[in-house]
């Protein structure tokens, strides 16, 4: 973690960077290739690459079934935070096109932690489905 911080109630406060380190570390250890996505702008605020609202990460894992790799666009948030409306819209658009998109707000904490999703198998399924709480 980037340093211990406490919230107003004295609980450990995790940043999005903390969540990213934990989640991407776990996925990488489990054989996922995680590619950081970005959206770039030039000096005139013209988009040069990427898409506004796109997820933070593209996670790919070889499947035991030939020709069917697992592919998930993943948005990472600090605990108890949801995607912004333009991010939710981007994910909805990708789901309509047949891609799996999801978000997590922690590794083992938050309202939508990776471990809970992972244990349910939802991280590998749900193409075209909307993640709960996104809209």
Q: What domains can you pick out in the chain, each with its CATH number?
A: 16-122 (3.40.1350.10)
Q: Is 93 helix (H, G, I), strand (E, B) or coil?
A: helix
In the block, residue with structure tokens 């108890």: 80
**Pairing assessment for the beta strands 57-61 and 47-49 based on DSSP bridges:** unpaired
Share the mean pLDDT of the chain: 80
State the DSSP code for 131. Answer: P
Average pLDDT over residues 111-124: 79
Q: 101 φ, ψ to 5°? A: -130, 145
Q: Give the whole-angstrom CA distance, residue 97 versus residue 119.
A: 26
Q: pLDDT tens across 43-83, in order?
A: 777 766 778 899 999 999 887 776 677 889 999 998 889 99
């Amino acid at each position: 973690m980037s340093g211990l911080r406490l919230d107003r109630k004295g609980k450990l406060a995790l940043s999005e960077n903390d969540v990213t380190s934990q989640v991407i570390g776990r996925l990488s250890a489990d054989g996922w290739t995680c590619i950081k996505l970005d959206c770039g702008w030039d000096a005139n605020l013209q988009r040069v690459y990427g898409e506004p609202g796109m997820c933070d990460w593209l996670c790919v894992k070889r499947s035991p079934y030939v020709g069917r790799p697992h592919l998930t666009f993943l948005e990472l948030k600090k605990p108890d935070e949801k995607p912004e409306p333009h991010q939710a819209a981007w994910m909805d658009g990708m789901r309509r096109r047949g891609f799996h998109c999801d978000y997590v707000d922690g590794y083992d904490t938050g309202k939508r932690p990776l471990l809970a999703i992972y244990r349910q198998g939802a991280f590998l399924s749900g193409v075209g489905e909307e993640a709960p709480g996104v809209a």
